Amino acid sequence: MTLDMRSLQQATDWLAVAVVVSLPWSTSVSVVLIVLWLLAVLPTLTIADGRRELLTAAGGLPVLLWLFAAVGMLWADVPWAERIDGLGGFHRLLAIPLLLAQFRRSRCGACACYGFLISATVLLALSSLFALLPTRALAHVPLFGAHVKAYGVPVKDYILQSGIFLVCAFGLISAACERWREARWRTVAALLGLAACFLANIAFVATSRTTFAVAPLLAIVLGYRYFGWRGVAFAGIVAAALAGLALTASPYLHSRVMHSFIELRDYLNMDEVNSTGLHMEFLRKSAAIVEAAPIIGHGTGSIAEQFRLAASGDAGSISAVTTVNPHSQIFAVAIELGAAGAAVLLAMWAAHVLLFRGAGLMASIGTIIVMQNFLSSLVNSHLFDFGQGWLYVFGVGIVGGTVLRNAQIPPSVRPAASPGVTP
């Protein structure tokens, strides 16, 4: 291998790290870095590298889903501009096999995880600052003035922020479990302390209802991973206790949860337009739309048109609202590609869970990334959202490639793990 190729591979690795560091902060910066990463990584991969990943379920199923969506444009009864726009949501899946191939050979997988954690921790500190200080005071500070968006949310939105914090919290808890086995109590305490800070921000500052619902389920998954069925029971009890404590101690969280029930009641009784009601209406209409074309769907790019056709009632009523986002990843795929497309999507998630079935912290982090995306995508179209979608792609690609690389190295010749990282 020439020195130039070696340097290009190193640059590609650090560009991937830069992408994950930037994703919590800036869409435009992330787009630029993703394009630069793509231009840099393609010359470093061989046909054999691509073939190897495409022949695996973890790398091949995302490409198969994209191919299905590309072919699905042929039977969509909408203008070609809408078909092409619909395919755009699937494009990022093509990066998964590239990242898996790249990080099979790279040693920067742990660096990417550290970089993302540091980036999220800085965001946590800034979010706490925004929550503690009056927004009007921060608006006059040049550094913050352009970024004051909402209470405790300095950049992006509360849905992405709380999702990032949830992944970091459970990643830190996983690291604490690894260190627990080694009786490194100070490290365990530090990791759990930082995890508690992330969870406290979710409970007291800014959370999405999806994050609050997903957190106990992730705890159960983690409990089973480390301690089997006893861990499931213990995690369930602890999660229920902490959820109850958070609802009692946090007026903000209590208000968010209770408001959801009030919105649901209003939707059922009065057809009132509200956030929870819209979610329920979109899910109801999605089921009916899928039922009309259950096998291969209505074609790629057809979501907006199908919701326009399903709209009814007077203008301003919830039944007359249309959307391009059914607020369910499974329905988003099933509307366009039917049960066949939804089966490929579910198979892809399953393949990525199986990719991380081994032991070690990196495998545990991969499991958290996949399960958080899967669970949240039941009521959101997160693979089609920029922040959540790219976090999934780079998370699975980087961590998955690292896990595959570690599996290829005999334990006797593996380098010593960095603190907090178990190969």
The DSSP secondary structure of 63-123, one letter per residue, reads HHHHHHHHHHGGG--S-HHHHHHHHHTTGGGGHHHHHHHHHHH-S-HHHHHHHHHHHHHHH
Percent of the chain with pLDDT strictly greater than 70: 88
How many Å separate Cα 65 from the centre of its chain? 18
- Alpha-carbon torsion, ordered 345, 348, 350, 354, to 10 deg: -170
Neighbour count for residue 385 (Cβ, 10 Å): 21
Q: Point out the least confidently predicted range of 177-191, 222-236, 343-357.
A: 177-191
Q: pLDDT-derived band of residue 134, with 50, 70 and 90 as boundaries?
A: low
Q: Two tokens at 121?
A: 């921790």
Asked if pLDDT for residue 1 goes beyond 70, the answer is no
Asked if pLDDT for residue 140 goes beyond 80, the answer is no
pLDDT digits (tens, 9 = 90+) for 374-411: 999 988 888 999 999 999 999 999 999 999 998 876 55
The residue with greater pLDDT, 406 or 366, is 366
Distance CA 181, CA 360 (A): 12
- In angstroms and rounded to an integer, the radius of gyration of the C-alpha atoms of the chain is 22
Beta-carbon contacts of 159 under 8 Å, excluding residues fewer than 6 positions away, are 208, 210, 211, 380
pLDDT digits (tens, 9 = 90+) for 25-81: 989 999 999 999 999 999 988 899 889 999 999 999 999 999 999 999 999 889 999
